[in-house]
Amino acid sequence: MSLANKLTEERRRRLAAERMLELKQAELFAANRKLGKHAQQLTEEIVETRAEVETIRGENQRVKSDLTAANQKIQVVERRLWHSIESITDGFAFFTGDNEMIMANRAYLAVFDGLEVIKPGVNYVTILQTLTDEGIVNTGDLGPSAWRQMMTQRLQKPQPEPVIIQLWNGNHIKLTDQRAPGGDIVSLGHDITATVAYEQQLKEARTVAESANRAKSAFLANMSHEIRTPMNGVVGMADVLIDTELDEEQRLYVDTIKNSGEALLVIINDVLDYSKIEAKKLDLHPQPFDLERAIQEVLMLLQTSARNKGLSLLMDYDMFLPTELIGDPGRIRQVLTNLVGNAVKFTTTGHVLVRVTGVPDEVAGNVTLHITIEDTGIGIPESMVDHIFGEFNQVENERNRQFDGTGLGLAISQRLIEMMGGKIWVKSEEGIGSCFGFKVVMDPAGALHPEHRALPEGLRRVMIVDGTTINRDILERQLERLGIGVTSCSSGAEALKNLDTDIDLILTDHNMPEMDGLELAKTVRAKGYGVPIFLLSSNPNQAEKDPAKSHVQAVLQKPVPRQELFERLETLILTPAPSTPQLSETTPVTLRKLRVLAAEDNKTNQLVFRKMVKGLDIELAFADNGEEAVTLFQRFVPDIIFMDISMPKMDGKQATKAIRALEERTGGHVSIVAVTAHAMEGDDEGILAAGLDHYLTKPLRKPEIIAQIEAACGTDVTPPIRRETLQATG
């Protein structure tokens, strides 16, 4: 190779090397620049991290100081809590789940009077042992070991119930142990000594009050007896006096005496009953009785005042309900008397209707009775409806103020119905009328579904004549349910128009405008109809005296109990005659007089009794005491005895027992009616247990005596009430 070539080659290599150098230098420069950038970035990051570290350090400092403050607060709270626990007078302690004491306050430890063993760490069982060993606790009848056992068992329960322990010094501590969620036990001993002492005082005060209350009710009962005895004389004598010849002024005086006396008796009875209910001294005495008859009797007693006001007293007793039921007849009658009495009192025109409906329960074999008393009286403002059932509460407004009363009747009725497990209510509209109702469940005394008497053959159509729609409706419904056709007429004239030979019986009301029932009967006969006629009257005595009475077959007291109506239907329809022969005319002369014995020590009461039965065709004898009653029972052989209960020598109950013992030999059973003024609870029970059949309370009332005498009549005696008697005495 030439030199020139070599040089060229050399220059070429040098140039290449130079280029390579330049390239490497450029690369180095770029790398340097990158490195510089990275170093710059790192520097920036370091600065940021330093700032963050600074911030965190500050925060950490704050948290630390907060924690210190919180710790200090916790210590303060803990101290305060402990001070509080220490300062409470009740004992307070904590136990672990294994029953070891964690801590206890001073009050808790004070009970142990500084005993070394009782300190944190002690077991609950050791505490119990110490309590009994040291005699700190009075274990009573249980004895130490049984007491400890009882307390240990109690503690084992998940939530032990509080227990009261008595300490040696008589203090009472109520111990409440609560298990916390972790199993720890919090134990609180609350000193209830003062409460126990107070309870004891209350108990003693209650006993004293109860005995005072008993004394009060006994006092009231005795007072009522004492007041009733002379009242019997006052009211009874006034009753007798009314039947004598009196001029108008004298009659007014006697009426006033009698009415005031009876009003006083009502008040005495109300106050007495209420005080007995209050003292829980009033018990019910369920026995078989006839509900329909009880309602009838209540209506009879109120008939006079209703008649004087021109009100109709009506009864609608569901045909398919039993009337013989088991209940307390006296108390049922009392509720009815109050409700019907109020209805009559607060009604001036229209009617008072007692309705009995019911639902027999075939499974239970009893019947739920709904008895409502509906009137067309002044009504009760809506705001007063609840008020009137309260004691001594009355509606105090213009209309109401004219009526007197104690305001106790409804309160007593409500309590009585509640005692019977029933409910009482009222619906009323002012100026329209009220409807009081009560519901009671009663067992039937006989069949749940009474069998109806067979109706006389030939009785297919009955004519009802009555001016009052509601009255007609009741009778109509009752007869139709028995399958009898009914022709309803609202007046005598309408009846005469519809009368034909299809009618088998006429049931007519007595008092009707234009043509009354007796005039109707007279006209029917004049027209030549011999159809039997029954007169339904609210004043049968007056009807009996009317000469036109001979045209009717029977005079029935309104409202007529179904039983009586059926009995009359049976006897009269079968032997119809336009004019019935008088009973006395058909009575054989061989009949003897009914013998009545009255055992009564009080002469005034004897006189009242004598006067009350004056017009009756009976033989009457008096016994002054129980002994005499027993003697006369054998000698006089009475058909009925009215037996006073409190009499000297031998009281009415003893005399009755003696008579019943005598009867065991002879096999007879004389009807004995207890007569008593006693109102103490349990008396009537004792009376019936002594063998008496019935029960009358003084003052005696003529209708009650006569009803008992009539009920005692056998077929071998002259009927005590003769037509001429009735006419003579009214």
Binders of ligand ADP in range 29-48 (CB under 6 A)? none
Of 405, 422, 561, 638, which one interacts with ligand ADP (CB under 6 A)?
405
Contact flag: residue 385 with ligand ADP (CB under 6 A): no
**What three-state secondary structure class fits 595?**
strand
- Euclidean distance between CA atoms 29 and 17, whole angstroms: 18
SS3 of 679, please? coil
Which among 48-56, 388-396, 527-535, 670-678 is the span making contact with ligand ADP, rule CB under 6 A?
A: 388-396
Q: Which stretch binds ligand ADP (CB under 6 A): 338-346, 570-578, 655-663, 678-686?
A: 338-346
Name the amino acid, one letter, at 392: F
Stretch in the footprint of ligand ADP (CB under 6 A) among 202-210, 327-335, 387-395, 501-509: 387-395
Of 217, 296, 394, 471, the one binding ligand ADP by CB under 6 A: 394
Alpha-carbon Rg for the chain in angstroms: 50
Of the residues 238, 388, 462, 515, which one makes contact with ligand ADP according to CB under 6 A: 388
Q: Are 235 and 265 in contact (CB under 8 A)?
A: yes
Give residues with Cβ within 8 angstroms of 205, minimum separation 6. Answer: none
Which residues from 357-376 bind ligand ADP, rule CB under 6 A? 375
Q: Which is nearer to ligand ADP, 233 or 379 (CB)?
A: 379
Subset of residues 567 to 606 that bind ligand ADP, contact rule: CB under 6 A:
none
Residues 6+ apart with CB under 8 A from 381: 395, 397, 430
Contact track, ligand ADP, 520-539, x by CB under 6 A: --------------------
> Does residue 407 bind ligand ADP (CB under 6 A)?
yes
Q: Is 253 helix (H, G, I), strand (E, B) or coil?
A: helix
Two tokens at 133? 């060993």
Query: Which of 434, 553, 605, 676 is the binder for ligand ADP (CB under 6 A)?
Result: 434
Please state the closest distance from residue 262 (CB atom) to ligand ADP, in A: 14
The SS3 assignment for 341 reads helix
Question: Closest-CB residue for ligand ADP?
Answer: 405
CB of 410 to ligand ADP, least distance (A): 3
Q: Are 124 and 103 in contact (CB under 8 A)?
A: no
- Which of the ranges 46-54, 311-319, 409-417, 440-448 carries the binding residues for ligand ADP, by CB under 6 A? 409-417
The total of other beta-carbon atoms located within 10 Å of residue 571's CB is 12
Residue number with CB closer to ligand ADP (375 or 601): 375
The CA distance from 210 to 222, in Å, is: 18
Residue choice 99, 105, 342, 471 for contact with ligand ADP (CB under 6 A): 342
Nearer to ligand ADP, 343 or 613 (CB): 343
Q: How many CB atoms lie within 10 A of CB 32?
A: 10
Residue 262 Ramachandran class (φ > 0 left, ψ -120 to 50 alpha, else beta): alpha
Whole-number minimum distance, CB 432 to ligand ADP, in Å?
11
Q: Which is nearer to ligand ADP, 412 or 687 (CB)?
A: 412
| Residues between 175 and 204 that touch ligand ADP (CB under 6 A) | none
Listed ranges 45-53, 77-85, 401-409, 664-672: which one lies at the site for ligand ADP (CB under 6 A): 401-409
Q: How far apart are CA 615 and CA 446, in angstroms?
A: 38
How many residues line the site for ligand ADP (CB under 6 A)? 21
**Three-class DSSP labels, 142-188:** CCHHHHHHHHHHHHHCCCCCCEEEEECCCCEEEEEEEECCCCCEEEE
Q: Are 673 and 641 in contact (CB under 8 A)?
A: yes
Name which of 288, 272, 273, 299 is nearest 415 in CA terms: 273
Smallest separation (angstroms) from ligand ADP to the CB of 393: 6
Nearer to ligand ADP, 347 or 366 (CB): 347
Beta bridge partners of 177: 187
Determine which residue in the list 240, 311, 371, 410 makes contact with ligand ADP, applying CB under 6 A. 410
350 contacts ligand ADP (rule: CB under 6 A): no
Q: Which is nearer to ligand ADP, 355 or 653 (CB)?
A: 355
Q: How many CA atoms lie within 13 A of 358 on its CB side?
A: 29
Interaction between residue 329 and ligand ADP (CB under 6 A) = no
Least distance in angstroms from the C-beta of 470 to ligand ADP: 17
3-state secondary structure of 335: helix
The region of 407-415, 446-454, 516-524, 646-654 touching ligand ADP under the rule CB under 6 A is: 407-415
Among residues 338, 523, 580, 697, the one that binds ligand ADP under rule CB under 6 A? 338
Task: Please give the Cα distance from 267 to 220 (Å, whole number).
Answer: 12
Whether omega before 162 lies within 30 degrees of 0, making that bond cis, reads: no
- H or E element in which residue 371 lies: strand 366-375
User: Which of 129, 176, 368, 400 lies at the binding interface for ligand ADP (CB under 6 A)?
Assistant: 400
Strand ranges for 538-593 from DSSP E: 554-557
Residue 378 interacting with ligand ADP (CB under 6 A): yes
Q: Name which of 375 and 651 has its Cβ closer to ligand ADP.
A: 375
CB of 275 to ligand ADP, least distance (A): 16
To the nearest whole angstrom, how small is the minimum distance from the Cβ of residue 231 to ligand ADP?
19
Residue among 571, 564, 578 nearest 531 (CA): 578
Identity of the residue, 394 or 471, whose beta carbon is nearer to ligand ADP in the bound complex:
394
Does position 395 interact with ligand ADP (CB under 6 A)? The reply is yes
Segment (H or E) for 508: strand 505-509
Pairing relationship of beta strands 461-465 and 423-429 according to DSSP bridges? unpaired
Angstrom distance (rounded) from CA 70 to CA 57: 20
Smallest gap from Cβ 377 to ligand ADP, in A, equals 5
Binding residues for ligand ADP, per CB under 6 A? 338, 342-343, 346, 375, 377-380, 388, 394-395, 400, 405-411, 434
